Amino acid sequence: MTVRVRIAPSPTGNLHIGTARTAVFNWLFARHHGGTFILRIEDTDLERSRPEYTENIMTGLRWLGLTWDEGPFFQSQRLDLYQKAVKQLLDQGLAYRCYTTSEELEALREGQKAKGEAPRYDNRHRNLTPEQEAEFKAQGRSFVIRFKIDDEREIIWNDLVRGKMSWRGSDLGGDMVIARASADGAGQPLYNFVVVIDDIDMQISHVIRGEDHIANTAKQILLYEAFGAKIPEFAHTPLILNMEGRKLSKRDGVTSISDFKQMGFTSEGLVNYMTLLGWSPPDSTQEIFTLEAAAKEFTFERVNKAGAKFDWAKLDWLNSQYIHNTPVDQLTDLLIPYWEAAGYSLAGGRDRPWLEQLVGLLSASLTRLTDAVDMSKLFFSETVELSEEGSKQLQQEGSKAVLEAIIAALEAQAQLTETSAQDIIKQVVKAQNVKKGLVMRSLRVALTGDVHGPDLIQSWLLLNQIGLDKPRLSQAIAVS
């Protein structure tokens, strides 16, 4: 079996997670069968399509690791092909020009609504005489091209996810508009038509898309037949739902891939999660895997019919696993853009070795990459804000004397090391005759502003390297 699949986003918005998940399933299926994954940009909506959206789509697919084998192909550059196909249907009597006005269509819909009928076109211009067409043209009416649909026809296909599917022609809303009026008079081909022409031309073997396209599939099968083309196999995947069971939308928060990236999700964590939105691996206990590993196991037998609920907690957990297992040097590369976006200066001794030490200190606590911004703020600021608990700690009896003793001990150190830092704490505990807990808590608050935080000794060493430990100790003494 030669597998050729495509992802065909419309550049009328940024890459949506639903489209991206569809791309994941297409990519996995293609790689599983050693097939071809094609990128096609469906930009026939000239008014709403934008080049910045096209760039966002391609950037997002690359970021997720969904590299394509052919394309990108742009429908806006293939209009001649579509117009020739429209003419072919007109010449064969399978399509016709419809001059029904928008006012007439509205009256038709209102009449059907009043009778409790489903809205549909009544095919009134299917069999116009040349004289009737001439009269409509003389009236200055514009036209659309409609494809004839037999109401009595039953359209059946075996869906790879849903099994046997059956639609009646009478359920498709009347003869289908395949091209609307255009300024050049040639007609502007529409989605349901051009997608079929492209799939025929590109020899697409399997059409994998969301279940919201099922009604389109019935219409498109009729078009494949009209052109005498081989009908591809179809797989309609479940929609992505919110936790209340409704289709995921912007009201649920972030839905575009670029936004997920901005929120601090790794590409590996996000694409891993998307493979689990509607598909389960043979080993149900396996949750972490690369795209390549998932491709080896991917089949439509394990794709669910029911909608896939989007679980933020599960995504966070998966993302944290990838972060925790990313080598420090690579994780540093990922975090630097977030620090820069937050306005943190990498000057003042914050060189690459220092940054990697900071990443090593924080990495085990990160769930999202953005967490590093707040967690590392104290290492990029000249001063720290005291928490309520921190302020209370500095008011404890003996806290001020402890901090003064630490500064005095620091003055005697040529270079602070992990060993010498531990020795200073021991010396101060003995000299001040206090409990170690008082020394550790007071030191932590002076350096970080709070009684909780990352490893104290490692934090102290990092602050010492950029000369911030002594000034902070002095500031703490002044308020204690």
Which residues carry a binding-site annotation for ATP?
250
Q: Are 300 and 352 in contact (CB under 8 A)?
A: no
Q: String of b and e for 13-28 (b: at least 16 CB within 10 Å)? A: bbbbbbbbbbbbbbbb
Biggest CA–CA distance in the chain, Å, is: 111
* DSSP-derived pairing of the beta strands 163-168 and 176-180: unpaired
Q: Which among 113, 137, 247, 250 is annotated as catalytic?
A: 250
For residue 275, give the DSSP letter.
Answer: H
Residue 101: its H or E element: none
Task: Give the integer Cα–Cα distance in Å for 162 and 233.
Answer: 12
Give me 8's structure tokens: 């065909």
Q: Can you say which residues are annotated as belonging to the binding site?
A: 250
Q: Are 57 and 9 in contact (CB under 8 A)?
A: yes
Tell the residue number behind the tokens 């999202």, with chain if given.
Answer: 368
Can you read off the two tokens belonging to residue 323? 């972060």
Residue 442 contacts residue 338 (beta carbons within 8 Å): no
> Distance between CA 240 and CA 276 in Å, rounded?
11
- Kind of pairing between the strands at 240-241 and 233-237: unpaired
Phi-psi region of 326 (alpha: psi -120 to 50; beta: other; left: phi over 0): beta
Q: Catalytic annotation on 261?
A: no
Separation of alpha carbons 64 and 243, rounded Å = 24
Give one DSSP letter per residue of 219-233, joined into a string: HHHHHHHHTTPPPPE
Residue 134: both structure tokens together: 């001439």
3-class secondary structure, 74: strand
Beta bridge partners of 308: 240
Give the SS3 label for residue 414: coil
With both helix axes pointing from N to C terminus, report the angle between 436-448 and 399-411 in degrees, rounded to the nearest 10. 80
The residues assigned a catalytic role are 250
